[in-house]
Amino acid sequence: DTEGLLRIKEENQKHYRRAQRHQEKKEKIQKHNRKLGDLVEKKTYDLKTQYEHLANLRRSHILELTSVIFPIEEVKTSMRDPADVSSESDSAMTSSTVSKLAEARRTTYLSGRWVCDDHNGDTSISITGPWIILPNNGDYSAYYSWVEEKKTTQGPDMEHNNPAHTISAALCYATQLVNTLSLILDVNLPKKLCNRQVKTQQGNHEFCGENLSRHRFTRAVKKLNANILHLCFSQHVNLDLLHPLHTLRNLMYLVSPDTENLGR
């Protein structure tokens, strides 16, 4: 029994010495982990600082791009309703007559149906200059209506002074701006739209050059609007300001200096 007790004591001493070595190793590992934690924390702070610096660079590039090359502004496009003016000059007109005149003026026959265009005194959005504008309500039916009319009617006045040219130019510039913004912000766009004056294997560039059919035109506009909304979402633009059909207005909100997260 005495010999067995001595052997057990020797084994206990060995286990104790081994436990001490393990404790020292544990303390070394914990010390190393604390150093790594401090290093990771420092690296995280440095990364956050670099992200902020990168965001400021992106923001300055975007603001310079949209102030020098692609300025987007609101443009007054409509005057006061003549029905309201006539009601002031002619006291014999009743309120019902005035309201009916105003309603008739704000109703337009588009694409085989009557549409209420209640934007009296509203504004349009211009890009690259006040002469290249898009309707504020997102109704670009003037483009494919002009294309369909051009197929049946040819004349010297068909190529000048029509809204289809300004709509096409504005959408082309908007596409070019969106593609450039995606490169600056490093955001992949969900829809592919080409704005170059070249032919690709998929076909011609969108909006510029070739007169698009109604189906191709509306499809391209939907793709452009989807890309703009995707960029707005990525930069945390206030959702209450966005509308799925307001192409240039959404772009204007995106590149506005008031957008706090622009460049993130």
* Helix (H) / strand (E) containing 204: strand 203-204
pLDDT tens-place string over residues 127-158? 988 888 888 877 887 777 777 776 666 555 55
Considering only CA atoms, which of 142, 202, 198, 201 is closest in space to residue 170?
142
Residues 180, 183: Cα–Cα separation, whole Å = 5
Q: Are 187 and 231 in contact (CB under 8 A)?
A: yes
Residues 192, 173: Cα–Cα separation, whole Å = 15
Q: Are 206 and 194 in contact (CB under 8 A)?
A: yes
192-196, 199-203, 231-235: segment of lowest average pLDDT: 199-203
Considering only CA atoms, which of 178, 84, 179, 163 is closest in space to residue 124?
163
State residue 207's pLDDT score: 77
1, pLDDT greater than 80: yes
80, pLDDT greater than 80: no
State residue 49's pLDDT score: 93
- Residue 87 pLDDT class (50, 70, 90 cuts): very low
Q: Average per-residue pLDDT in the chain?
A: 79
210, pLDDT greater than 60: yes
Mean pLDDT across 4-33: 92
pTM of the predicted model, to two decimals? 0.67
- Residue 90 pLDDT class (50, 70, 90 cuts): low
What is the DSSP annotation of 153-196?
A: ---TTTTSS-HHHHHHHHHHHHHHHHHHHHHHHT---SS----S
More confident residue, 52 or 86: 52
Q: Are 206 and 175 in contact (CB under 8 A)?
A: yes
Q: End-to-end alpha-carbon separation of the chain, Å?
A: 77
Residues 190, 226: Cα–Cα separation, whole Å = 8
Six-digit token string for 4: 């067995």
- Residue 14 pLDDT class (50, 70, 90 cuts): very high
78, pLDDT greater than 60: no
- Residue 99 pLDDT class (50, 70, 90 cuts): low
181, pLDDT greater than 80: yes
Mean pLDDT across 237-264: 90
Residues 259, 236: Cα–Cα separation, whole Å = 8
Cα angle: 34, vertex 35, 38; to 5 degrees? 85
Residues 150, 35: Cα–Cα separation, whole Å = 74
Considering only CA atoms, which of 223, 254, 222 is closest in space to residue 238?
254
60, pLDDT greater than 70: yes
Task: Give me the percent of the chain exceeding a pLDDT of 70.
Answer: 71
